[in-house]
Amino acid sequence: MNSKSDYIAVFDSGVGGISVLRQLRAQMPKERFLYYGDSANAPYGTRTAQQIRQLVMAVSADLMDRGCKALVVACNTATAAAIDLLRQTWPDRIIVGIEPALKPAAEHFPGGCVGVLATPVTLREEKFQHLMQLCQGKCQIIQIPAPGLVELVEQGKAVSPDAEELLRPLLEPLKGKLQALVLGCTHYPFAARSIRAILGDSVALLDGGEGTARETRRRLEQAGLLWDGPGEIRFESSLPGDGILSLSRSLLEQE
């Protein structure tokens, strides 16, 4: 039985899920969060679905054993590959995933052109393909796989000439065509300035972090598990050394 003071575990393949943690903290500033980044195995987006499921289940089992009151899978790739298995394994626990913000993009830009920047695995998975089918008639959707961008964010180079060099051939041909770009990986909001340097300010950038935080709060409230403080954030990583933890803290406070 969980208590209100138990941690909310937030899990990602690396530091990307900190973009979701920021939204969670904004909506629930008095909660206790345990953020776990599996940076030693990042990126997930180039692995097979089976490999991703094995990694996700191993980390999640540890977090569940430690008594977290909710598990937030703050990784689009992990959600697409493993969320159903997680819910089957722990049917009585609060488990919230994230998906690319394609539905809100289609609703806000009917008949427009929407790009989805994501990892190759996310775009291939059945969960995303189903989401595509739901939105297909509402707007034009362009899938944009971006291998390599996660690695740059993990290296602290989300806003850098390297990031712009990687993104330019993907995004520049779409300049003037896109009304919105869905950031379909939780690492990508940290590269927003690099994206803006190519597309300009007229393209709306959307990600699923706010909706995930809202759903987590709703589920905790429904279960009577909201905590009234004091708030706390702890960082853990599968990558040894202080460098990744230092990067995690700086990303949490990044403007």
State residue 156's pLDDT score.
Answer: 97
Burial of residue 64, with CB atoms counted within 10 A of its CB: 0-12 exposed, 13-18 middle, 19 or more buried: middle
Residues of the chain with CATH 3.40.50.1860: 8-98+209-253, 102-206
State residue 31's pLDDT score.
Answer: 99
102-206 topology per CATH: Rossmann fold (3.40.50)
How far is residue 64's CA from residue 183's CA, in Å, rounded to a whole number? Answer: 29
State residue 1's pLDDT score.
Answer: 79
Which tokens is 191 given?
Answer: 């590269």
Q: Which amino acid is at 145?
A: P
State residue 65's pLDDT score.
Answer: 97
At 243, which helix (H) or strand (E)?
helix 243-253
State residue 90's pLDDT score.
Answer: 98
CA angle 190, 220, 217 (to 5 degrees): 35
Prediction pTM value: 0.95
Give residues with Cβ within 8 angstroms of 121, minimum separation 6: 44, 45, 46, 47, 49, 52, 77, 80, 81
State residue 145's pLDDT score.
Answer: 97
How far is residue 182's CA from residue 57's CA, in Å, rounded to a whole number? Answer: 27
Long-range Cβ contacts of 84-87 (<8 Å, 24+ apart): 85/53, 85/56, 85/57, 86/56, 86/57, 86/60
Which tokens is 168 given?
Answer: 């330019």
State residue 251's pLDDT score.
Answer: 97
Contact 102, 169 (CB under 8 A): no
pLDDT in tens, 27-53: 999 999 999 999 999 999 889 999 999
Q: How far apart are the first and last CA of the chain?
A: 38
pLDDT, tens digit only, all 255 positions of the chain: 799 999 999 999 999 999 999 999 999 999 999 999 999 999 998 899 999 999 999 999 999 999 999 999 999 999 999 999 999 999 999 999 999 999 999 999 999 999 999 999 999 999 999 999 999 899 999 999 999 999 999 999 999 999 999 999 999 999 999 999 999 999 999 999 999 999 999 999 999 999 999 999 999 999 999 999 999 999 999 999 999 999 999 999 987
Q: Which residues of 137-167 are buried (b: 16+ CB within 10 A; e: fewer)?
A: ebbebeebbbeebbbbbbebbbbbebbbebb
pLDDT in tens, 52-72: 999 999 999 999 999 999 999
The architecture of the domain spanning 8-98+209-253 is 3-Layer(aba) Sandwich (3.40)
Positions annotated as catalytic residues are 75, 185
State residue 246's pLDDT score.
Answer: 96
